[in-house]
Structure 1
Amino acid sequence: MEKWTQRLDGWRFKASADQEWLPAQVPGCVHTDLLRCGKIPDPFYGTNERELQWIDKQDWEYEANFAIPSAAMALQQLELVCDGLDTYADVSVNGVLVFSGDNMFRTWRYNIQPFVHAGDNVIHIRFRSPIQEDLSKLEKLGYGLPASNDQSELGGLGDRKLSVFARKAPYHYGWDWGPRFVTSGIWREIRLEGWSVCRIPDLFIRQDEVQAKEAKLTALVEIEAPEAGFAQLRLTADGQEWSSQAELKKGVQTVEIPLTIADPKLWWSRGLGEQHLYDFRAELLLEGQAIAERSVRTGLRSIRLVREKDDKGASFYFELNGVPVFAKGANHIPNDSFITEVTAERYRHEVASAAESGMNMLRVWGGGIYEEDVFYELCDEYGILVWQDFMFACSMYPGDEAFLNSVRLEAEDNVRRLRNHPSIALWCGNNEIDAAWAQYNEQGGWGWKKDYTPEQRERIWADYEAIFHRVLPEAVERFAPGSDYWPSSPLIALTGDAGQHAHSSSAEGDIHYWGVWHAVEPFENYNVYVGRFMSEYGFQSFPEYRSVRSYAEEHELELESETMLAHQKNGAGNQLIKQYMDMYLQEPKDFKAFLHMSQILQADAMEMAIEAHRRSKPYCMGSLYWQMNDCWPVASWAGIDYFGRWKALQYRVKRSMSDVLLSVAGHTKGIVSFHVVNDSLQTVKGKLNVSVLHILGGTVKQVEQDVQVDPNGSEMVLTLGVEELLAGKNPGEHMLVVSLEDEQGETKAVREHYFAGIKDMALPVPRIECRESGEGGRWTITLTSDVLARHVWLSAEQEGIFTDNDFDLIPGIPKTIGFLTAGGDSPYFRPHAPRQVTVRSIMDYIKQTAAQP
């Protein structure tokens, strides 16, 4: 036996103060183990979150027996490998302390040969309470650090914010969309690895220069050798082979092999080309026999963040293989409060939904985790670029030597783990901290600075700079050379003065615009505040009725009930939704209708924002809304709820993020403008058809215009006056239907535009006819309406998505919809016949009055 690996299973756990051991699931955590053992109620149900805050105040212990064969004991090296311990963990083997972990995001490897023997052994891990552990750090510091989303009061801690001291997922301590469950446990695999020969712990394919004609690469092969000697190092990929004689030294060394691939198949983001992936295999040979090997899969591409001065400020966009990319997507948070509950299937559902919605980027936000490998593999596969935050958000952090060293090692582990993924477009230091503290603007930021003395402020900012201006960029430069690093989002640039901090009118850097929602500004301001890259903006809605009923009883379905407020983490968020609904929509007939109409409201807001950003291309080159997903069932900014169900927003995103967008901008100063945004690399050429229709049916006026939009271009192709279009007719009774046809007469896009807000339209009650078909093995439903039907919504008993939803039906014009179920690898969404389809329009949700037809 020269190599041996064994995963450690059969775990049990208990509270340190208890005697009874209970079965545990690893990977897992205390909360999920307690739930499986029937010791606690469903954490997500009702107000149970409040009753479970005792869990994080206790120490917890995990234990397992494992057997080592005699042959494995004879190996030269025998290591215990812990891929993820959450968080303060004392790890003992056969009663001897091997090491103490203190960072959830690190991998721990320790030689255990001195502590084990052939036959039965036992591993014991004591997880010290992160609350008890960090109270002493707060006391030692002498003052608290800002941590706006740390729900310390819910946790029984008053104003003592402890999340900043632990290198642990910040959202575990609560956020304005998530609960407070401060977990402990073994959240990634634990195994034993033994060997007596050389091994290759790591293989990095550094992409030095990648062009269409040639890719110049360097393979960095990390070799661990038990003794000095010589061996042949061979690298293969796509039928090519490179080899080198390696002089090995005892211990760990890195051998570099230059590689050249002619006419490489490039990796492209979704919509621009193929996501080709190369498999590179490194082998170490002794006398012609492979004694060690390692493989990685990567895509060949050049990517850079382009920030160049121009007459308006400075650009901010990603260039992929020489092509400027308009980044379309959303911010990603962890898919569950209990991370190990997220299966590969749930990851695929999210990433496939992003691709199905026309996205090409997800931002892994800094208050969660460095995601599992499968997430990045799926992004590689689907062509979804990743903006990768380091795990710091909305807080100031300590900067003592122990903390900085922990951050340094955390960054090394995760940059090394993820650097081969072609989807990684950017490493970002943190979320919103520079803007929140606003070091160089005394009146700026979130008001944090006023709570500290000048000496404390100086130290807090110095600690910030140590982490985000020194430790993290050094890690990126050392372990992923050539990758771009952005210190904080949002940011203008590291100017060292008041011009450093981004704001809603910044003409450089990236912007988080929250005037709509937090400042209760009107939706129309999305057309006003458009920056170079919109990396955050959003609007809340409730999940659908089925999802709400997973945590609330029927009698609790009321806006201000205790349960509904417990599942609204953004303060007065429920009332804010109602306030906006009063501004833009009619009154819902009941609370169930309110749930769905909140989704219409959210979709209206995000559609306006996304299309404003895209019409501003190339000034604006990115639109990432907040947020893609949820970590529990809740009212939030997500477009896909906790159960994977698409809200109205996700369907609207699919239209607004299509590669060729037809967009109609509102009648500012009596003018309607028509835009075609072309994110493809082919010329769009055809005809624009504009029709004025009465909402009861009948065409009033038609206008045609030839259009041509260059590859990767954006054009305002036509403007028309409202008076010219309506000729004095009632704006509340008329609408525009705009279509884009290609040169073959095929319709590529259709959009509706209204001269009046929905509250000012005398909408009739439509009679919608549905005709189902199963021809060709594919279920479809064709819908027609006698009059205008706004916000038509299809629902099915079966889980899945429709090919379109939350659309308007034009009188007399049929619309055919399909249904897709999720499952399988490729394609993930597959045609299927749904069960029990229901069709409604907004008239089924609003409160009817005698004045309405």
Structure 2
Amino acid sequence: MLEATPLTEGWVLRHEGEGLPAAVPGCVHTDLLAAGVIPDPFVGANETEVAWVARREWTYETELRSGAGGHEQTDLVFDGLDTVAEVTVDGHALGRTRNMHRSYRFDVTGLQGRLSVRFVSAYAEAEAVRGRVGERPAAYPEPYQYVRKMACSFGWDWGPTLVTAGIWRPVRLESWSTARIARVRPLVTVEDGVGVVELHVEVERSRVEAPLAVEATVGGARVRGEIEGTAGVVRLRVPDARLWWPRGYGEQPLYDVELTLLHDGDALDVWRRRVGFRTVRLDTSADAHGTGFTLVVNGERLFARGVNWIPDDVFPSRVTRERYRERLGQAARAGVDLVRIWGGGIYESGDFYDACDELGLLVWQDFPFACAAYPEEQPLRGEVEAEARENVVRLMPHPSLVLWNGNNENLWGFRDWGWEARLAGDSWGEGYYLGVLPRVVAELDPTRPYTAGSPWSGSWERHPNDPAHGTHHSWEVWNRADYGEYRREVPRFVAEFGWQAPPAYATLRRALPGEELAPDSPGMLHHQKADDGNGKLERGLARHFALPKGDFDRWHYLTQVNQARAVAAGIEHWRSHWPRCAGTVVWQLNDCWPVTSWAAIDGDGREKPLYHELRRLYADRLLTVQAREPGLVLAAVNQAGRAWTGTVTLRRMSVQGTVVAEAGVEFRAERRAVARVGVPRELVPAGPKEFLVADADGLRALWFPVPDREVAYPRPEFDVAVAPGAVTVTARTLVRDLLLQADRLRPEARADRGLVTLLPGERVTIGVGGWENPDPDAARAALYCLEPTA
């Protein structure tokens, strides 16, 4: 039987003769940080102080003892090398690598001695490739498009420039005899209600003449097959297989698949995975509104409640199985059912997809191309196909994976960002997105749909970002307009949109120790990477609120409110237009370091008010009031599996708390449908002193006819009571957008809800974890709400 021995101990990191203890898996930055050689690049402006690390060569060394223990062959296996490396044993070259997204295997049978992995600077490689293939345009000045490496390590509009190197995924020795399993490609389908697993097996042999067989089991089914040469296929049927569903639509049963490679009845190697039985297709048919983009799972059409995922740490080797589960659990608790792995990052580890399988989170997987023209010449072309082939097969077992996407914004960039003229006929990636990648997916994984890019309208006959066709990225609003402009369009599928806000207060205090915080203080500006980010934040605030001059705490609170309001404006509008609009994917769920960004969860894992707002926006049932001709419309959005009937109570109220007019309106929203009812004219509020309240089944929608800066809010009055694990607020006036910033009580404290609006006499109890000694004065100081404009 194949024996695997992890190589995790005894590694040394060397540079110019100096040696330091090294952690494997890991990277140069984390090793230097652990040794105290560099300061924490997440703190202050230290990012710039460690820029030199990326420009140097680094070598990892350990002793290799490859005794085969009676086996015929021993292989040295790297699951990931970042990125350009030469691997040697006592000076004997095993091979060279130039792709972070691939694994590598070297025959080291009989070799012993000093194992060395020498990493060349990724900058040196990228600049050399650029010199050979010529310049290509990109959204950012760093040369990330010339090397197959995590693009965002070169910096992004939310991330630091920390270009890593190292053995970033596990390394091991594998000793084996006769033959080993080289690859298993599982095609998992449902045919006439029967679960089918078809295993395409490839083996590597040490003895060509040895007769080989495989035996496979799943869900009580067992089958045996022969290996002819180096390949074979076995097919299993599971008549009573239960379907795997996205969260909110059903359960997530998973089945263990085991395939054993045999020679004369002896087991040589074993391959084990978990699979789920489900069907998935992408409906892109034309209709009266354009071209749709609707995911269909097990025959059920979905409105995708999504978030974009970036690497959870700029040093991805630090992201553990537990951290994946924490972050993805946060997504599931927010009502998310789809996670898009964005193309400037990586193919995540198996732990990510395992968690999604268990949580019922659909995965949209970008191939790693983002915001740049990518050369199609060698050495890149061969690397792209090799990495695609490996990762498609690696990720195929996961039922959560439902869509392959060719790139992020590159088709759009070619058309709109001036690339076409600058390229003057040079290659730029189109051959990947419309040629290599769809061919690889069709050959290896015909069970899943592929789309050429995001955004993409399905054809060059239309603009790539046409909202009426396919996927749409809505960035004009954040960049140039008020978030009310989201309501002007009904895209078929909104794959990116978002609004910025700073991280939680405790995150800022940790990242910027000793700094007197201000929107434009040095540390705040360093941790704001977006072009004119603060200017866009300020202009966005000014459209709705009086700008707080010289009051950082107030600015911090209002930017958080504005972020939640902006995202709500989009999602409420687009969900109310289901099935014409079939999904929203918020930019973004998470951060990779402490930064002002579009994230709902900041770089320290703290949940912004936006996160809690997503729980309301992505719930199965949502009430929203929308302004449409000829007046206001109440939309009851019902994504639950059964009809929703009831009476909504509509109240036209004054800001002083009196009811001007009231009525009950009956509605019925069928399963997975939206009911729309007109608001009677006499209930439509007018001017800065009135607003509309809609209540049904514990859900509430509010509608104010004017921006907050024009609303005649009363001075908020409320009572505060505390108990272990809870803060209760009772309103004596209208209290708009009340927020308990629990991390101001204690950095470890967490509140179980975000923004809440209370009418006079209403109360709310906010659960607080991690706050052992409740103090009423501290609680009141940590409470924020909107106040009357001065």
What displacement does 1:811 show? 1.1
Which runs of structure 2 are paired with 1:129-528 in the superposition (5 Å)? 129-141=121-133, 143-150=134-141, 152=142, 162-210=143-191, 213-227=193-207, 228-230=209-211, 233-238=214-219, 240-249=220-229, 252-253=230-231, 255-285=232-262, 290-438=267-415, 445-452=416-423, 457-461=424-428, 464-495=429-460, 497=461, 499-503=462-466, 506-518=467-479, 520-528=480-488
Check if 1:54 corresponds to 2:52: yes
Change beyond 3 A, Cα 1:324–1:4? closer
Q: Post-superposition shift, 1:293?
A: 2.1
Q: How do 1:339-738 residues align onto structure 2 when only pairs under 5 Å count?
A: 339-438=316-415, 445-452=416-423, 457-461=424-428, 464-495=429-460, 497=461, 499-503=462-466, 506-518=467-479, 520-588=480-548, 590-666=551-627, 668=628, 671-721=631-681, 723-726=682-685, 731-738=687-694
Residue matched to 1:826: none
SS at match of 1:401: coil
Q: 1-side partners of 2:39 and 2:438: how far apart?
A: 44
> What are the ranges of 5 or more consecutive residues in structure 1 without an aligned counterpart?
153-161, 439-444, 742-746, 822-831
Could you say which residue in structure 1 is the equivalent of 2:741? 795
Distance 1:136 1:594 in 2: 46
Aligned in 2, Cα 1:210/1:835: closer, same or farther, shift over 3 Å?
Answer: farther
- Residue 16 (structure 2) pairs with residue 24 (structure 1): no
Q: Deviations over 1:250-274 (max 9, x none)?
A: xx32x22222222321111111111
CA shift, 1:594, in A, is 0.9
Describe the superposition over 1:552-573 as per-residue Cα deviations: whole angstroms up to 9, x where unpaired: 2454422223322211111211
Take 2:719 and 2:380, find their aligned partners in 1: how far apart are those partners? 64
Question: Could you tell me how far 1:813 is from its partner in structure 2?
Answer: 2.0
Cα distance in 2 for residues equivalent to 1:351 and 1:96: 44
Query: Aligned with 2:766: secondary structure?
Result: strand
**What amino acid maps onto 2:31 in structure 1?**
D
Question: CA shift at 1:225, angstroms?
Answer: 4.2
TM norm structure 2: 0.94
Shift in CA distance, 481/616, structure 1 to aligned 2, threshold 3 Å: same
Q: What's the CA shift for 1:800?
A: 5.5
- Which region of structure 1 is more displaced relative to structure 2, 39-48 or 535-544? 39-48
Give a deviation string over 1:578-610, Cα, whole Å, max 9, x none.
111111113336012211211111111000011
Which deviations, in whole Å up to 9, do the C-alpha atoms of 1:195-229 show, x marking residues without a partner?
A: 11443344333124345x32233222334444334
CA, structure 1 residues 833+284, in 2 after alignment: closer, same or farther (shift >3 Å)? farther
CA distance in 2 between counterparts of 1:554 and 1:40 reads 20
SS in 1 for 2:524: helix
**Quick one: distance in 2 between partners of 1:591 and 1:216?**
59
Q: Which amino acid aligns with 2:522?
A: E
* Corresponding residue to 1:785 among 706, 713, 731: 731
* Superposition map of 1:743-754 within 5 A: 747=698, 749-754=699-704
1:343-370 Cα distance to aligned partner (Å, 9 max, x none): 2222122211111111111110000111
Question: Deviations along 1:590-642, whole A, 9 cap, x unmatched?
Answer: 01221121111111100001111101100000100111111111111111100
Q: Residue 451 of structure 1: CA displacement?
A: 3.0
In the TM superposition, residue 678 of structure 1 has moved relative to its aligned partner by 1.1
Question: 1:459-518: CA deviations, max 9, x gaps?
Answer: 225xx23222211112212221232111111011134x4x15223xx3111100111111
| Residue 810 to residue 210, structure 1, CA distance change in 2 (3 Å) | farther
Q: TM-score, normalised by structure 1?
A: 0.88
Which amino acid letter does the alignment assign opposite residue 708 of structure 2?
Answer: I
**Alignment-mate amino acid for residue 508 of structure 2:** V
| Deviation per residue, 1:772-829 (Å, 9 max, x gap) | 567xxxx4444320111111112332636433221111111222333467xxxxxxxx
Quote the Cα distance in structure 2 between the aligned partners of 1:360 and 1:2.
39
Q: Do 1:793 and 1:840's aligned partners in 2 also have CA atoms closer than 8 Å?
A: no
Q: Alpha-carbon deviations, 1:676-711, whole Å to 9, x = none?
A: 111121111222111223333333322112221111
Change (3 A) 1:842 1:738: farther
Amino acid at match of 2:573: A
* 1:380 Cα deviation from its structure 2 partner: 0.9
Count of paired positions: 784
- Distance (whole Å) between structure 2 residues aligned to residue 329 and residue 424 of structure 1: 14
CA distance in 1 between counterparts of 2:451 and 2:749 reads 38
Amino acid at match of 1:809: L
Structure 1, 130-139 or 55-64: larger mean CA deviation: 130-139
Residues 388-422 of structure 1 deviation map (CA, whole Å, 9 limit, x = unaligned): 10000011111113211111111111111111111
Q: What is the rounded CA distance, in whole Å, between the counterparts of 1:782 and 1:550 in structure 2?
A: 28
Identify which range, 419-428 or 583-592, moves more after superposition.
583-592
Change (3 A) 1:408 1:446: same
SS in 2 for 1:584: coil
Distance 1:282 1:309 in 2: 43
Moved more, 291-300 or 616-625: 291-300
8 Å contact kept, 2:713–2:788: no
Question: CA 1:795–1:522 in 2, change beyond 3 Å: closer, same or farther?
Answer: closer
For residues 4 and 35 of structure 1, do their structure 2 counterparts lie closer, same or farther at Cα, with a shift above 3 Å needed?
Answer: closer
Instruction: Say whether the 8 Å CA contact 1:102–1:167 is kept in structure 2.
Output: yes
Cα–Cα, structure 1 residues 484 and 294, in superposed 2: closer, same or farther, change >3 Å?
A: same
Question: Counterpart of 1:442?
Answer: none
Q: Determine if the alignment matches structure 1 residue 759 to structure 2 residue 709.
A: yes
CA distance in 2, matches of 1:94, 1:477: 43
Whether the aligned pair in 1 keeps the contact of 2:667 and 2:675 (CA below 8 Å) is no
Q: Secondary structure at the match of 1:469?
A: helix
Once residues 684 and 372 of structure 2 are traced to their aligned partners in structure 1, the CA distance between those partners, rounded to angstroms, is: 53
Query: Alpha carbon RMSD of aligned pairs, Å?
Result: 2.3
- Relative to structure 1, the CA distance from residue 400 to residue 819 in structure 2 (aligned partners, 3 Å threshold; closer, same or farther) is same
Read off the aligned partner of 2:688 and give its amino acid letter: G
| Range that drifts further, 306-315 or 47-56 | 47-56
Structure 1 window deviating more from structure 2 (764-773 vs 621-630): it is 764-773
